[in-house]
Structure 1
């Protein structure tokens, strides 16, 4: 799923080559994110688009040879003159007379040409890892962007290159592209991302590269590059502001090139220490901020534009500090306030994961308990559907910037199959959504000046704060109910390696920046943490969690004791004493719709085995009730805000394998059948481990969930009196105590 869809799109044509472009947003100045070498398409900017489009009109296009543009097989389509014309025609079609040009690697040639020879179209330049014919003694006019053409090897040696990366650059030739193209793409993308833990970025690049193909790269190689004298001349003629961003570990284009361009243009240079070639993919937060800051300086806000309503004036910058001694009269000046420390209300920004509704209920309970400790505290919620429905029912304040969040539940649903969700892979492929949502968070905390940020499994915030620790200017608390990505048995060696790598990155984050998390709270007890290690050579999960977390006990979000009077509950919901009530529910996303249909299909057979069976299917907030089969006697209900009360009144529940619903049933002492999503490591490993500790629930596998098997399980479990281990009732209070200390 894309984090943002275009507001407009279309094609331009130059010499018979059709170029696809997109326009996102409306703000000024316009920003043109240019294509680079045709081995990747415009999706290389996926982490920048959502953020920049909230502030600018952002234009992207696929260069010839990739994406949705044509794939010409002749060199003329890839020449410098053609590339410049593609950019000009895209700007015309998008209605942008002038724009800030952002160019990666090879695109620096086209951007510099435009800035020198079409200055009326260019407000400014941002060049990332520019690959131009400067600063490389081995460069040739035919291929200056990749350390020049490496020495040719005998044909017999090409497929059998050694492991030395310098030797591997011999793969950069047309013969090898046609003989072993996929191997070349994997090699090249590995060189683009020397940073640790870059598996996702490399995989993205390989996917784009394979879409191009060796014929396209061969045609592109026929087009000569501008020589060093031409590039230097362009640089001297550039009159607009220039920003260069270059990693000092760039293996594709030497850092010295940016130094020379900065000298020739008078531009600014930002060196990314430890950074590789494609900075906007590996360090998107830093690049987003650099591009936006550079662009907005070229289009300052009008003097009369009011300050943000939530932005207090600084004590060192009174409202009149920047006004001249004598100025023309005007109708009214700005009125701002500054609060002494003891007059500032405590402000909390609370983020609650939208993947499932359990986070919302427990977080509202924790927020309510926090207010009892600090009555004056103001809590803003940065949240999205379906969490916002729970917050609305509780009367909580949802921050208006929440409307900019890309929907994580929709992404998860797009990744799911029939009761199947490769959860770890779905999280990996949610990368652009997470970057987009972190940038929303970044703008909110920059504007709001919060005292405390609470992130309940807000993976984007936790990851990018550790990647950019300088952005933390508030107390920060992290909450979760599981620790550790775990490979599924059928995931093979690849999944085992990737989960270990993601775990290792998290461990390194915490070790490197222990003060980013002022408090890490585990929603549960030490024994609820799974045994085993984070991966080969990595520490035991339970030992590490004990060292780095505080434990709140489980947080149900409600007090189960008033629900003990089941007769009163059943009367409230209209259940007769002689009825056996089975409630079926699958959580807050649409992923469980297949389970609902399968249980509905088994209802007639179950009703024959269980006299007086009444089955109630709750579709939740994101499933259309009309999509369920029309089964006589089956009751279908939409979203129920207080579902835990319905479950407490039931004689049996059939649920998905999510932790929250299973623990709510455990807390109220109700028998239940749970069916974990296939491929979902949390539902198949973390949740069953915890339920075993409480002696709760009976697990069923979806593959064996025939009408006969399900009807028999309902008959065996309905009305059973469980003997579960008690679930603690003070988890929200304990969590609030841990948070209150940070205020």
Structure 2
């Protein structure tokens, strides 16, 4: 498949929602068109003739050894696709046109502005901004306006931001040159090229396209005798805004899946569940395995496959769980989160937004698996991509579906300003609309906790209170620790099993399963000599976790550094103090085991600073620390103050996994 460049206002990243998926199913070629990205920006209009773009595409095919390809074009790419077919039909295996921009009736909304493109105006409103002089004077405003017309769908903030960013990688002079370049003049010139089409054609067009009329796409499909698909509610770039549907249409057209060679009659099938566990940290894995164990008690013989990635797979492998081979195709979410972090700083909401192509890639992996294999039940523990794209494409639901989460509501950080508050409210609003329209999609929605654990804030202006809405739409099994705190009532025996003597004061330092906590580990390690002076019996054990190399951390005499520790919660239950990041799972494990702890929420991490802190304060658990304000000396003082302290925490239930499993088991 050759994904062609479109207008030079954007580059090949416009295909980011297609490339990873199709690269698993066929050979994919794409490139930055002249005028943007990594390609040159010639100044002469003749350099942007459509024949030049077509020649570039053929040169790329030659350079990559691509004899034939399905050509996929977007908007202005339609003309160069037809030119390639007309001059080199032997290189074309098929054509897909998405929102083709060709001189076919009816006229485009900007047709009047195009005729006066070089004429200055006293004012520029709407499509009058399609003007050489306005571009030179107010380029960024034009770009903002243009992409508001490209993405007319509600809640398209990320797609618009992406496109504006790509447009700012070129300049108005380049775009003016592209606009002055000669193009096909009229319908007859299109018809002449279309008459040479001798291969399968698919045309996809959004009914709400505000840049190129939907009926012009229908006219092209009729002209070439191709299939035509209308996307109701979609705008000019559905491959970005409705990528699942577009990907499935492209897949069926260009490289259809092979039919399964095996089928089982319904009554002969054993019960099967597919469990999708969030890879951000290890906490989800611990509770998910506990729920899975309880499900098997209620449904003996239940087969559970796991769609998961590192570091979750480390827990699953240690437990002997079956990780589905399709997991190898998942794009790495933990690596992305780590790449977004700075020194003990992770802007969680923005990092999640910038993970959109990873989430789409992973949904497509899930989709192919769920299409090819029969499951009675899907369980998604904060599997955001599954939940979002199922609500965007509800027809893709094929099994009972359970959604689990331990927080509800994106919340802005105080220094995010009005823009972040707008964005979080917009994301929350879309989620609320999804649930209101398709309440049937989630057969069970479980909040891992209790109603009082929910923050008191609203989802945003003119949106409901988070707690009120969550109580209406979720069930509450209580918190799921993955263990029964009563099992550790005899701490002396537990310490002996783990090799901790009674005359030692054990301090466990852990930052979970991601690599984001390395800076906190280093600062606590620096505090060790000072803490040892204050607490002579101190034995500090630093757990690097599966994504931090222990050899990368500094050390001191008497300090122990370990890599991944299986069943770390047992060590936490045995310790005299823990120093941890601000994640919920470790904090609640320590709360359930009634151990004192210091916790350092990541800066800008809304979940740790708002949702988790609210819950821990409700349990009267832990001492919240500010990484920016604390030095090794003050951390050492806090360790000395807290180690071995008797606590008065609110009790954490020990049967959360069983209660969650009972709610899920009804669906089987």
Match of residue 132 from structure 2? 174
Residue 148 of structure 1 and its aligned partner are, at CA, apart by 5.7
Residue 215 of structure 1 and its aligned partner are, at CA, apart by 1.8
CA distance in 2, matches of 1:542, 1:153: 56
Residue 105 of structure 1 and its aligned partner are, at CA, apart by 0.1
1:56 and 2:26 matched: yes
Residue 632 of structure 1 and its aligned partner are, at CA, apart by 2.2
1:502 and 2:467 matched: no
CA distance in 2, matches of 1:718, 1:482: 30
Match of residue 201 from structure 1? 159
Q: Secondary structure at the match of 1:552?
A: strand
Match of residue 171 from structure 2? 213
Given candidates 426, 430, 434, the residue that maps to 2:359 is: 434
Q: Secondary structure at the match of 2:541?
A: strand
Given candidates 701, 711, 719, the residue that maps to 2:626 is: 701
Match of residue 382 from structure 1? 307
Q: Secondary structure at the match of 2:195?
A: helix
Residue 308 of structure 1 and its aligned partner are, at CA, apart by 4.2
Structure 1 gaps of 5+ residues are 1-30, 140-144, 162-166, 302-306, 313-337
- Compared CA separation, residues 47 and 147, structure 1 to 2 (3 A): farther
Match of residue 24 from structure 1? none
CA distance in 2, matches of 1:528, 1:379: 30
Residue 72 of structure 1 and its aligned partner are, at CA, apart by 1.4
Q: Secondary structure at the match of 1:211?
A: coil
Given candidates 70, 87, 94, the residue that maps to 1:124 is: 94
1:412 and 2:318 matched: no
Q: What are the within-5 Å matches in structure 2 for residues 418-457 of structure 1?
A: 418-457=343-382
Residue 362 of structure 1 and its aligned partner are, at CA, apart by 0.3
Q: Secondary structure at the match of 2:168?
A: helix
CA distance in 1, matches of 2:120, 2:112: 21
Given candidates 215, 222, 227, the residue that maps to 1:263 is: 222
Give yes or no for contact 1:146–1:253 (8 Å, CA) kept in 2.
Answer: no
CA distance in 1, matches of 2:312, 2:594: 26
Give yes or no for contact 2:116–2:131 (8 Å, CA) kept in 1.
Answer: no
- Compared CA separation, residues 231 and 563, structure 1 to 2 (3 A): same
Q: Give the TM-score of the pair, scaled to structure 2.
A: 0.98
Match of residue 590 from structure 2? 665
Match of residue 146 from structure 2? 188
Q: What are the within-5 Å matches in structure 2 for residues 717-728 of structure 1?
A: 717-728=642-653
Give yes or no for contact 2:51–2:83 (8 Å, CA) kept in 1.
Answer: no
CA distance in 1, matches of 2:108, 2:635: 70
Give yes or no for contact 1:131–1:146 (8 Å, CA) kept in 2.
Answer: no
Query: Which has the larger displacement, 207-216 or 432-441?
Result: 207-216
Give yes or no for contact 1:150–1:170 (8 Å, CA) kept in 2.
Answer: no
1:595 and 2:517 matched: no
Q: Secondary structure at the match of 1:722?
A: coil
CA distance in 2, matches of 1:420, 1:205: 27
Query: Which has the larger displacement, 602-611 or 348-357?
Result: 602-611
Given candidates 259, 264, 267, the residue that maps to 1:342 is: 267
Q: Secondary structure at the match of 1:703?
A: coil
Residue 150 of structure 1 and its aligned partner are, at CA, apart by 5.6
Q: Secondary structure at the match of 1:531?
A: coil
- Compared CA separation, residues 410 and 116, structure 1 to 2 (3 A): same
Match of residue 107 from structure 1? 77
Q: Give the TM-score of the pair, scaled to structure 1.
A: 0.88
1:67 and 2:37 matched: yes
Match of residue 562 from structure 1? 487
Structure 2 gaps of 5+ residues are none
1:149 and 2:114 matched: yes
CA distance in 1, matches of 2:382, 2:465: 21
Query: Which has the larger displacement, 545-554 or 627-636?
Result: 627-636
Residue 723 of structure 1 and its aligned partner are, at CA, apart by 1.2
TM-superposition CA deviations, 1:228-259 (whole Å, max 9, x none): 22211111221111111101111111112111
CA distance in 1, matches of 2:141, 2:533: 60
TM-superposition CA deviations, 1:537-557 (whole Å, max 9, x none): 001110110110011100001
